[in-house]
A and B are shown apart, each in its own frame.
Chain A
Amino acid sequence: MKDRFRKNRKKNSQRNYNKLNLFQAPKFQFKRKCPLTGKNAPKVDYKNIKLLKRYISENGKILPSRITSVSQRKQRELSQSIKRARILALI
């Protein structure tokens, strides 16, 4: 019994391997999720400088969302709050 089971397993694994070759592997997701949406996501606020500093370059420019993969809606909030922090000379 055990031997049969093993054989079946081997076959199954081989099949799966073939499938992976036919279709693109789902392991690698090229699109990252937005880090500011969903549960436990930090709130975007002009007082939260630690968070804002992650999304500006060394020269203080706002990074484009295509690099940081922030969703459109959150990018709007981010840029607004970064500009507010600039007025207060926090960034």
Chain B
Amino acid sequence: MNLYEHTIIVKQSHSKNQIEDLKTKYSKIIEKNEGEIVKIDDWGLLNLSYKINNNKKGSYIHFKLKGNGLTVSELEKNEKIDKNLLRFLTVKVKEFDMNSNYFNQETSNVKESQEKNK
């Protein structure tokens, strides 16, 4: 079994319920194909640093999963077709670092800066 980190960007127009649906959909796909989910992180709605298909924002979902090549190929096959997604990225890692939490802090910082600007 290998360890993977998998991130997907969902279009900004999607509501929370739709994002939850996507989460359950892909976690089911992972579990069907010999995979196992360790953790799901929701990074929330972030500003994209450049436009992707005329989208300025996207909500990020981050999976940490155990699996093999079949799991990943099956996941990516489904995601390529999916029109709700902008991007996905899979990274093979040697070990998960569960302690560091880069994005929850960042989102709070973004909110603070936005409030300051107002």
Q: Which residues of A contact B (CB under 8 A)?
A: 43, 45-50, 84, 87-91
- Whether B50 contacts A89 by the Cβ 8 Å rule is yes
Residue from the list A49, A50, A84, A90 in contact with B91, Cβ < 8 A: A84
Residues of A contacting B106 in the complex (Cβ-Cβ under 8 angstroms): 49-50
Q: How many residues of B contact A (CB 8 A)?
A: 17
- Whether A91 contacts B89 by the Cβ 8 Å rule is no
- Whether A87 contacts B100 by the Cβ 8 Å rule is no
Q: Which residues of B contact A (CB under 8 A)?
A: 7, 9, 46, 48-50, 52, 58, 60, 87, 89, 91, 97, 100, 102-103, 106
Interchain nearest-CB distance for B97 vs A (Å): 7
Given contacts A45-B100, A47-B100, A88-B60, list 14 more A-B pairs with CB under 8 A: A43-B100, A45-B97, A45-B102, A49-B106, A50-B102, A87-B87, A88-B9, A88-B89, A89-B9, A89-B48, A89-B49, A89-B50, A89-B58, A90-B46
